[in-house]
Amino acid sequence: MIAGTSTDGKWIAGTARAAGGSRKFKLWVPVTIETSSQNERVWPLVMLLHGCTHGAQDMAAISGMNEVAATNQFLVVYPEQVRRANLMKCWNWFRPKHQARDAGEPSILAAVVDQVRSTHNVDAGRIYVAGVSAGGAMASILAATYPDIFAALAVFAGAEFKAATSTSEAFAAMKHGGPDPLRQGQLAFETMRSGLTFKDRRRMPLIVFHGTADTRVNPVNADQAIAQWGKTNESLSAAHGESGFALTEKVIDGRMPNHVPDGYVYQRHIYLEADARPLMEKWLIQGLGHAWCGSPKPSRYGDPKGPNASAEIWRFFREAGSHSTASV
């Protein structure tokens, strides 16, 4: 690994190898963790997957996740796609060989986690995956193929599990949405089975962000991701002998002007179980395009207007993580 330092933390570059090949990654270690004397303490880890044309440090700059990590003391790892795998540097979420466990890009991304765990004290029960656009679609695949690794997921302007199985289907899903989310939800559950033999889960918490003015990925994909993982969680519930799984939807209308100037109006949909614990959230940001909201500075794919997606994603992970593991 190659290290680079700053006053806020340290970048560590590495390479992970698996059955599907190898990819470079960059790990951000906040200074509070790097200098901690609590050697026995374990830290949460967030994997954040970039969108097309981007790299690790692009994603860090767009999302501002490193700043959230510094405040809340967790590690962030940014895997990088390569042009030899995809000319646009998109994660190949739409190709069947990259939609299964122990194969393709999922195997490589799981190896990234293993590599980080080999060098840092990572809390195995608090490893999360998030992604934007193509990275969001791949995050859904990772949650289904490696439920023994990831405790919750975040999808920003992405898609449901296995929304496409070819390039043409990928463009169609981005424009109109993917297949029936109830069918895909059951398919995701079937895909999870092998991973669940290593670590059981009773739920897979999900938070979704999408701009209503996104012309690259139709916002219907946000609805489908919620419906798909709702069905998957229903199937997980049934597998644990639970009956009467149902979610109650609570809608909050708001604006986020406080620390982020001129915040967008948004609708926050919270999906609660019978015990009132939230399992999923969907944030629809009125007027936001295909860009990360709450970005530290304006760019083509980063919008400084709130809500701060990175802060809300971490808040959701922190609150929902323990909800996913099956009780013993």
In the numeric block, which tokens belong to residue 189? 């559950």
Bridge pairing between strands 75-79 and 21-30: antiparallel
Task: Name, in order, each residue with C-beta under 8 angstroms of 111's C-beta and a sequence gap of 6 or more.
Answer: 16, 17, 18
**Residue from 22, 37, 107, 133 carrying the catalytic annotation:** 133
- CA-based angle 196:198:201, to the nearest 5? 40
C-alpha distance across the termini of the chain, in Å: 38
Q: Which two tokens stand for residue 317?
A: 């992970």
Spatial separation of the C-alpha atoms in residues 253 and 57, rounded to whole Å: 33
DSSP of 226-244: HHHHHHHHHHHHHHTT---
- For residue 109, list its beta bridge partners: none
Burial group, residue 227, by CB count within 10 angstroms (0-12, 13-18, 19+): middle
- Which of 13-29 are b and which e, b meaning 16 or more Cβ less than 10 Å from the residue's Cβ? ebebebebeebbbbbbb
Q: H or E element: which one contains 154?
A: strand 153-156
Amino acid at 46: V
| Residue 133 bears catalytic tag | yes
CB 19 within 8 A of CB 97: no
Q: How many CB atoms lie within 10 A of CB 298?
A: 10
Q: Six-digit token pair at 55?
A: 């790299």
Which positions are catalytic?
Answer: 133
